[in-house]
Chain A
Amino acid sequence: MKLAVYLSFGLLAACGAAPGIAPTAPQPLPVAKTIAIDTTPKERRRMMPPEVYLRAYMVWFGGLAPLDVQARAKGKALFDAWDDYLSALGLPDYRVDLPRQMQTNTLMLATLGRLGEALCMRAAERDLHGKPPAIADRVIFAFEVVPTPSADEFRDRFDVLHRTFVGYPVALGPADRLAKFYALYQAVAARHKAAKQPLTGDETAWAAVCSALVQHPETELY
C-alpha cells in the first residue's frame, strides 16, 4: 500500500505543470489577392410549369382556392370555368384522357394573360371601387386612389404593386420603368375618364397597371 502511495507521488512529481504560453493579440490574415466574384446568373431565365403561375395568382389575389378564382373571375366575359381551360393551361384533362403537356406553349401564355387580367379587374372592383375596405384589408391595391396623381404620388402607389408582382422595390428597377408605367396610367385614365363602365378612369388605370405587371417579363420569367 505504502509502495503505491510513493509511486503516485513520484508520478505526480514527474508530470509537473507545463510552462504557460503567453496570450497574444489576434493578427489579421495576410491578404494574398482579391477574388472577383461573378454574380451574374448562370442560366437564362425561363418560364415555369403552369401550376407555379396559378399558385402565384391565387396567393397574390387573396389566398384563393381554385374555385374562389373561378367564382371571382367569372362574369362580363372575363373568365369562364377552369374546365374550359385545363388543356390550354397544359394541365391534364381526364374527361377526354388528355395527358399533362410537358412543354409550355403559346396558348398557355394567352390563357394566363386572360386570367391575370380578369383577376386584376376584380381586385380593382373590390379594393378601389365604391366603398372599399380599409387599406390593411385590401388584397392588391393597398393604397388610397388619388385622382390624377402626380408622378410622386403615382410612384408611391406603383411601388406597392411592383413589390407584389415583380418582387422588389421599383427604385431598384430600371430607371425609366416608373415613367413608362406612369405614361400607361395616364393614357388609360384619360381614355376611360368619361366612359360609363364598372370602374372609374383612375380605377381602370390602376387595373391596367396591375394587368401589365402580372404579364411583365420579370414576373413571368424565373
Chain B
Amino acid sequence: MFTRRSMLQLLGGGAASLALRRPVWAAAKDAAPGEFFIFIHASGGWDVTLWADPRNERKGIVDPAGTDNTDIAPLTHWKSTRLDNDVDTFEILAPKNVSLRFGPGIGDLFDFRERLTVINGLAMNTVSHPDGTAFSATGRHLAGGRPPASSVDVAVANELGTDQLLPAVAVQYPSSFIGDRLDRRAVPLRVASAATIAKSLTRSDAYLAADDRTAITALLTDEAAALAEQSAYPETYLRAESQETALPKLISGDLEKAFTQKALQDAYPKFDYKAKSQGQGALSAAFALEAIKRNVVRCVGFALGGLDTHNQNYKQQAHTQQELFGVIARLVEELDRTPHPDKRSAKLADHTHILVFSDFCRTPQINLSGGRDHYPNNSALVISPKFVAGRSFGKTDVEQLLPADAGLGFSDGPRPIAPPDLLATFVSAFDIDPRKYLRDGEVVKAMLR
C-alpha cells in the first residue's frame, strides 16, 4: 500500500513541490481522517428544469420541455402528461418518502433520492462558461480571466490530503491552486484523461529492467542527499531525495497497470464506457473509485459534459443528463459495495463525499433555434453522509426561474444561496475553516447533520 510519504514524492512535487513551503495552517486532518472526496463538474450548463427544479407548466417565461423539443425515446423516467394541444410534457417525479421533486433527467440516480441533497436557486451572477465554472469551484468570479482563489478540491486536499500519494487529481476538472500559503503537495494533477496518468507512470521493459531503475533512483537519492549537505538551501535537494526514494514504488508497482483504460473498464464493468456523452466521464469515475479504493488519493475531480445545448441539440439534454446521473448512480453503487481501505466494517460510501455542480443553468424559454441559452441560476447536488439528505435547499421564482430568497436566515438579510455559501458549508462539514479559503459565503448549518 502506498502512503503519502511513499509517493508524493513519487515523482516529485514537481517544480513547485521541490521548492516547498511548509503549510502555514493547522491541518484539519485529525478531525476527518479517512474521508474521500469526489468533485464533479457537469460541464456546459445544465437545464435544471429537467431534474432538480422541474417545470412542466407554462408560467411566465417558462417553456417546459415537451415532446416538441425533447427526444423522449431514450428517457427511462419520462412519463407523459398533456401540455398543449398536441404536445406532451413530463410528469414530475414526486416520491413520497422524500421532499424532493425531480424531472426525468435524474435517471437512475432517482433510486438514491434518499441520499441526495439538492441546492436550487444558486445565484450565479454570470452567464459565462469560464466564469460560472470558476465561481462554482472557487466561490469567486474570474479576475483578469483567471480564478483568484483555490478551488474547493485543492482546499480540501491542502487540509486533509497532503499525506496521500496523490492529494488531488483533476481529470478535466477546473482545479486552481492559488496563493503561496498552501502546501505544494496539494498542487492538483490536472490531466485530460484518466489514462494519461497510467501512461506517464509506465516504463518500457525492452531496455532497462526494474532493478536498473531502482539502482538509478538509489544513485540519484544519494546525489540529492550529498548536494543537500553542500547547499546553502538544502530544502529543494532534500525534497528531490525523498521523491527519488519513492520513485521505484510508483513506476515498478502495479499502480500504473491498475489505471490503464482496460484495467479500469475490467474492474468496473457496470459503467457505460460507450455512452454517447459520458463515456470518457465513466472512465474518470472508474479511476476515482480505483484510486480511492487503493487509498492513494484524497480528492478526485472530473468533468461530465455535453450539456451546452443552444440549438436543436437541446433535444438530447435530458438524455445527456440521464447518462450523467447514471454515471453518478453507478459511482454510488460501487462505493456502497466497496469496503473502506482503512476502516474495518465501513464501506466507502460512508466516508466518500460527492459534490456536483455546473457552470450555470439554461434559460427557461426555448430560443428560436430550439435550444436554451445561458441563465444566471443554478442547482447543485451533494451526496454526503455529512449532509441532510432527501430534501432541497433554496428556491427559484415560479415565472422566471431566477434565484429567490432561500429563507435560510443569512446574516446579511434575505437572499438566495450562492456558490460561496455552498462551498463554505461543504468544507465546514469537515472542520475546515471556510475563511481560510473563501472570501465570501456563509455556512448553512441547516444543510449539515
Verify if B224 is at the interface (C-beta below 8 Å from A): yes
CB-contact partner of B11 in A96, A113, A174, A204, under 8 A: A113
Q: Which residue of A lies closest to B129 (CB)?
A: A97
Verify if B13 is at the interface (C-beta below 8 Å from A): yes
Also in contact, A104 and B200, with CB within 8 A (given A93-B192, A110-B251): no
Asked whether B223 lies within 8 Å of A108 as measured between CB atoms, the reply is no
Q: Which residue of A lies closest to B209 (CB)?
A: A191
Which A residues are CB-close (under 8 A) to B215?
184, 187-188, 208
Give complex CA distance A121, B191 in Å. Answer: 27
Asked whether A212 lies within 8 Å of B220 as measured between CB atoms, the reply is yes
Verify if B335 is at the interface (C-beta below 8 Å from A): no
- Chain B nearest CB: distance from A183 CB in Å? 8
Which A residues are CB-close (under 8 A) to B189?
105-107
CB-contact partner of B208 in A47, A86, A174, A204, under 8 A: A204
Also in contact, A103 and B207, with CB within 8 A (given A87-B191, A88-B196): no
Asked whether A110 lies within 8 Å of B11 as measured between CB atoms, the reply is yes
Q: Which residue of B lies closest to A86 (CB)?
A: B192
Give complex CA distance A183, B222 in Å. Answer: 13
CB-contact partner of A108 in B15, B209, B233, under 8 A: B15
- Chain B nearest CB: distance from A132 CB in Å? 17
Instruction: Write out, one digit per residue, whether chain A residues 187-207 have a CB within 8 A of any chain B CB (1) or not (0).
Output: 110011000011100001001
Asked whether B19 lies within 8 Å of A44 as measured between CB atoms, the reply is yes
Q: Which residue of B lies closest to A43 (CB)?
A: B233
Interface hit among B72-80, B235-243, B420-428: B235-243
CB-contact partner of B233 in A41, A101, A191, under 8 A: A41
Q: Which residue of B lies closest to A77 (CB)?
A: B204
Number of interface residues of B (CB under 8 A): 60
Which A residues are CB-close (under 8 A) to B222?
180
Asked whether B192 lies within 8 Å of A98 as measured between CB atoms, the reply is yes
Asked whether A184 lies within 8 Å of B177 as measured between CB atoms, the reply is no
Asked whether B13 lies within 8 Å of A80 as measured between CB atoms, the reply is no
Asked whether B199 lies within 8 Å of A184 as measured between CB atoms, the reply is no
Number of interface residues of A (CB under 8 A): 63
Which B residues are CB-close (under 8 A) to A49?
15
- Chain B nearest CB: distance from A175 CB in Å? 10
- Chain B nearest CB: distance from A210 CB in Å? 10
Give complex CA distance A109, B217 in Å. Answer: 13
Asked whether B188 lies within 8 Å of A177 as measured between CB atoms, the reply is no
CB-contact partner of A180 in B10, B219, B250, under 8 A: B219
- Chain A nearest CB: distance from B260 CB in Å? 12
CB-contact partner of B219 in A86, A174, A212, under 8 A: A212
Give complex CA distance A212, B250 in Å. Answer: 17
CB-contact partner of A88 in B9, B19, B172, B199, under 8 A: B199
Within 8 A of A (CB), among B227-279: 227, 230-233, 235-237, 240, 243, 247, 250-251
Verify if B93 is at the interface (C-beta below 8 Å from A): no
Q: Which residue of B lies closest to A113 (CB)?
A: B11
Asked whether B14 lies within 8 Å of A216 as measured between CB atoms, the reply is no
Verify if A40 is at the interface (C-beta below 8 Å from B): yes
- Chain A nearest CB: distance from B292 CB in Å? 18
Instruction: Write out, one digit per residue, whether chain B residues 179-193 have a CB within 8 A of any chain A CB (1) or not (0).
Output: 000001001111111
Give complex CA distance A208, B205 in Å. Answer: 13
Which B residues are CB-close (under 8 A) to A220?
240
Within 8 A of A (CB), among B162-181: 166, 172, 177
CB-contact partner of A45 in B200, B206, B207, B233, under 8 A: B233
Asked whether A105 lies within 8 Å of B230 as measured between CB atoms, the reply is no
Give complex CA distance A80, B261 in Å. Answer: 15
Verify if B201 is at the interface (C-beta below 8 Å from A): yes
Asked whether B14 lies within 8 Å of A47 as measured between CB atoms, the reply is yes
Within 8 A of B (CB), among A61-87: 76-78, 80, 84-87
Which A residues are CB-close (under 8 A) to B14?
47, 103-109
Within 8 A of B (CB), among A100-120: 101-111, 113-114, 117-118
Asked whether A98 lies within 8 Å of B208 as measured between CB atoms, the reply is no
Instruction: Write out, one digit per residue, whether chain B residues 1-39 have a CB within 8 A of any chain A CB (1) or not (0).
Output: 000000111111111111100000000000000000000
By Cβ-Cβ distance, the 9 closest A-B pairs, closest first, are A47-B15, A104-B15, A104-B14, A109-B12, A44-B233, A110-B11, A106-B11, A76-B206, A77-B204
